[in-house]
């Protein structure tokens, strides 16, 4: 490193009287010998050299403003330019006049308003869909398929869809069933109905039944030691994956019982259940 490279960084300290006595002597001796050092010192004295301007980083934008800007597609504002160290008065006056005569830039509000309206409309449609999901055919079909295939881990379980009253539909009953053990069955065609009718009601005319709309449920209570026992179908419950036919069994009172061996049965007309779903006959406990 030559002497100029060593002395030139000390020139500012030489002007500011911050150097030691030894460094002052070195700088003074070098100024007598070096013309470029003397020119550098003159420029420092006249103030021609300015300190470098360090760019100031803009503060980070808050997260809520970033979300709003993303939602409404608003471009990020450009950073403000750094102010000049010593602006000229004429230029400042011209800028002030231009700012006063330039009309303010109008910001369009229809995009944010339209976005808010669309959000509320979407929420309203979603709320309506959730509230009426049980009546939607697509949702009902999906729930039925999931329930049939055993996907209960997803929270899809059998749900009750329809309850039908069976007490007002035609039914036939008796006390001489062909077997002494409890039994039940669902009859969905005319041939099986003829067989059951000949066993349960021999000699009587076969009642008309439209198997396109209806089916028959038969229940035998088994052998009973006294008379007065009877069964009566109450309701049909249609679930997403099955149909349950509920019946009630009544027993005789202490005064009305006769020591006669009976085998009560009932044959009940019911609405035709879906073919793909199982039909269960259960007793009301």
38: containing domain = 3-46
Task: Output the pLDDT for position 126.
Answer: 84
Does any domain span residue 101? no
User: Against a cut of 0.75, is the pTM above it?
Assistant: no
Positive or negative: CA dihedral 191, 219, 276, 243: positive
Alpha-carbon span 102 to 116, nearest angstrom = 32
Give the residue with greater pLDDT, 44 vs 145: 44
Does any domain span residue 113? no
Does any domain span residue 129? no
Give strand pairing partners of 42.
none
Does any domain span residue 152? no
Alpha-carbon span 30 to 148, nearest angstrom = 100
Alpha-carbon span 226 to 176, nearest angstrom = 13
Task: Output the pLDDT for position 195.
Answer: 92
**Could you write out the DSSP letters of every residue in 103-172?**
PPPPPP-HHHHHHHHHHHHHHHHHHHHHHTGGG-HHHHHHHHHHHHTT-GGGT----EEEEEE-TTS-EE
Query: For residues 220 and 177, is the Cβ–Cβ distance under 8 A?
Result: yes
- Total number of domains in the chain: 2
Task: Output the pLDDT for position 23.
Answer: 83
Alpha-carbon span 70 to 210, nearest angstrom = 65
How far is CA 137 from its chain centroid?
19
Alpha-carbon span 139 to 162, nearest angstrom = 16
Does any domain span residue 41? yes
Does any domain span residue 89? no
Where does the pLDDT of residue 120 fall: very low under 50, low under 70, confident under 90, or very high at 90 and above?
confident
Task: Output the pLDDT for position 158.
Answer: 65
Identify the H or E element spanning 233.
strand 230-239
pLDDT digits (tens, 9 = 90+) for 156-171: 456 777 889 999 999 9
Listed range (48-57, 138-147, 213-222, 269-278) with the worst mean pLDDT: 48-57
Query: For residues 233 and 227, is the Cβ–Cβ distance under 8 A?
Result: no
Give the residue with greater pLDDT, 285 vs 147: 285
Does any domain span residue 87? no
Does any domain span residue 107? no
């Amino acid at each position: 490193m030559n002497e100029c490279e060593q002395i030139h960084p000390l020139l500012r300290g030489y002007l500011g009287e911050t150097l030691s006595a030894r460094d002052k002597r070195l700088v003074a001796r070098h100024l007598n010998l070096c013309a470029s050092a003397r020119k550098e010192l003159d420029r420092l004295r006249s103030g021609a050299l300015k300190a470098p301007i360090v760019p100031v980083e803009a503060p980070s934008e808050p997260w809520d403003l970033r979300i709003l800007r993303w939602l409404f597609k608003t471009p990020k504002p450009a950073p403000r330019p750094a102010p000049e160290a010593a602006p000229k008065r004429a230029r400042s006056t011209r800028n002030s006049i231009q700012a006063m005569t330039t009309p303010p830039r109008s910001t369009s509000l229809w995009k944010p308003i339209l976005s808010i309206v669309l959000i509320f409309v979407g929420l309203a449609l979603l709320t309506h869909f959730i509230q009426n999901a049980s009546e939607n055919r697509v949702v009902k079909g999906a729930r039925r398929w999931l329930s049939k295939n055993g996907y209960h881990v997803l929270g899809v379980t059998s749900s009750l869809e329809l309850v039908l009253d069976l007490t007002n539909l035609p039914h036939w009953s008796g006390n001489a069933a062909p077997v002494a053990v409890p039994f039940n069955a669902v009859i969905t065609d005319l041939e099986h109905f003829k067989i059951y009718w000949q066993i349960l009601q021999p000699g009587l005319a076969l009642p008309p039944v439209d198997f396109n709309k209806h089916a028959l449920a038969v229940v035998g209570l088994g052998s009973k030691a006294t008379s007065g026992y009877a069964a009566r179908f109450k309701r049909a419950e249609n679930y997403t994956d099955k149909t349950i036919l509920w019946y009630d069994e009544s027993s005789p009172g202490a005064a009305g019982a006769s020591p006669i061996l009976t085998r009560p049965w009932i044959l009940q007309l019911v609405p035709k259940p879906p073919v793909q779903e199982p039909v269960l006959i259960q007793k009301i406990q």
